[in-house]
């Protein structure tokens, strides 16, 4: 039975999925070496290498903000800059952490439809100033899936890579919702990351259904050579790391990550189809992952809010509905029936 509430406000309003919870419990026996020097962490890192079909280096931090800002700091020096979309989380929702942890690297904001960086604008930002009075562009940050619930096709990433490579920039991927992007694309995780030029990926665990963990995956291992020190200095090195890594081993190892991501994406499709049947509702972005952005007529918005449904209105001018591992078809139907009035 569905109770109106905050289940559509964000995918981080859901709890911990049973698989991750079980893994936490299974890791809770006896003594283990600390700070990642344990068998759970070894296994988890191997799971990432299997999944990405390459010898990557993997680190675990507690939040997406830490993952993004510490990895970006590894890609550039303080007098260099990072190109990101103007609605990117690194720009709008991290309280200046990327600039703080990089000791001042400036963010340069690119435009582009549906939350995706426009290639011509990225190139413009790279070349428009090369003089020493301006911080030289050194990295491009792409959100996958984007803040507007769209995804970059591997060809789009490769095209951007063509531009960044010729100017010596690295590529960072903010994958707070990477699983939803893969579920949508149906490609291998390797295809849309290192095979398309991505140097470092922040792979989100929390929104996917885990407890307090994000993985930082360096495909370009040289860039991550001193990342462990950054994590420690930033207070992001977990001493009881086994509880983080055990969750990853389980969720990556048995396909849980993709199953939940597909489920959430499917529910977003159902929600957007239902909303579009309501007169006056207008979809604001293509629904390609687990988010639905819609402009709601005032009476629909009031009806939903009065009934206790919670969703964000501050992102992109419309209502944002996020589906998570915990969202069910009953939740979607209950919301739709209230929206219909």
Ligand X SMILES: *Cc1c(COP(=O)(O)O)cnc(C)c1O
286: exposed, middle or buried (C-beta count within 10 Å: 0-12, 13-18, 19+)?
Answer: middle
List residues binding ligand X (CB under 6 A). Answer: 63-65, 68, 89, 143, 147, 174, 176, 206-207
Q: Which is nearer to ligand X, 24 or 70 (CB)?
A: 70
Closest CB 68 distance from ligand X, rounded Å: 6
Q: Which is nearer to ligand X, 327 or 334 (CB)?
A: 327
Number of residue whose CB is nearest ligand X: 64
Closest CB 90 distance from ligand X, rounded Å: 7
Q: Which is nearer to ligand X, 71 or 272 (CB)?
A: 71
Residue 98 and residue 72 in contact, taking contact as beta carbons nearer than 8 Å: yes
Q: Which is nearer to ligand X, 206 or 288 (CB)?
A: 206
CA-nearest of 335, 321, 55, 192 to 203 is: 192
Q: Which is nearer to ligand X, 217 or 334 (CB)?
A: 217
Distance of CA 79 to the CA centre of its chain: 26
Closest CB 332 distance from ligand X, rounded Å: 21
Closest CB 315 distance from ligand X, rounded Å: 10
SS3 175: strand
Closest CB 131 distance from ligand X, rounded Å: 32
Distance CA 189, CA 166 (A): 24
Q: Which is nearer to ligand X, 123 or 174 (CB)?
A: 174
Map tokens 């100017």 to a residue: 167
Residue 9 and residue 312 in contact, taking contact as beta carbons nearer than 8 Å: yes
The count of C-alpha atoms lying within 13 angstroms of the C-alpha of 119, restricted to the half-sphere facing its C-beta, is 12
Residue 102 and residue 78 in contact, taking contact as beta carbons nearer than 8 Å: yes
Closest CB 217 distance from ligand X, rounded Å: 15
Write the DSSP assignment of 25-43 as a string of letters.
HHT-SS---STT-SHHHHH
């Amino acid at each position: 039975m569905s109770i109106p509430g905050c289940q559509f406000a964000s995918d981080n309003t859901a709890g911990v999925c049973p698989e991750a919870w079980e893994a936490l419990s299974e890791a809770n026996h006896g003594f283990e070496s600390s700070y990642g020097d344990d068998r759970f962490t070894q296994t988890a890192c191997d799971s990432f290498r299997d999944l990405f079909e390459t010898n990557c280096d993997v680190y675990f931090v507690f939040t997406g903000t830490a993952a993004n800002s510490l990895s970006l700091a590894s890609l550039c020096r303080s007098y260099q800059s990072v190109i990101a979309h103007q609605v990117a989380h690194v720009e709008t929702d991290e309280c200046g952490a990327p600039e703080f942890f990089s000791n001042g690297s400036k963010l340069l904001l690119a435009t582009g439809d549906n939350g995706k960086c426009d290639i011509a604008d990225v190139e413009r930002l790279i070349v428009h100033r090369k003089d020493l009075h301006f911080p030289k562009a050194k990295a491009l940050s792409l959100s996958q899936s984007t803040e507007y619930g769209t995804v970059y096709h591997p060809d789009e990433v490769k095209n951007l890579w063509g531009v960044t490579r010729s100017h010596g920039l690295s590529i960072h991927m903010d994958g707070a919702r990477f699983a939803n992007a893969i579920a949508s694309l149906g490609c291998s995780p390797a295809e849309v990351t290192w095979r398309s030029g991505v140097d470092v990926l922040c792979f989100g665990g929390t929104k996917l259904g885990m407890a307090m963990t994000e993985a930082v995956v360096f495909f370009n291992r040289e860039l991550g050579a001193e990342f462990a020190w950054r994590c420690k200095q930033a207070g992001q090195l977990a001493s009881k790391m086994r509880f983080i890594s055990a969750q990853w081993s389980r969720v990556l190892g048995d396909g849980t990550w993709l199953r939940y991501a597909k489920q959430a994406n499917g529910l977003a499709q159902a929600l957007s189809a239902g909303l579009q049947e309501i007169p006056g509702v207008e979809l604001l972005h293509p629904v390609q992952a687990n988010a639905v952005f819609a402009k709601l007529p005032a009476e629909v918005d009031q009806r939903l809010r009065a009934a206790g449904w919670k969703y964000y209105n501050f992102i992109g001018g419309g209502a944002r509905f996020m589906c998570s591992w915990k969202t069910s078809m009953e939740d979607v139907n209950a919301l739709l029936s209230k929206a219909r009035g």
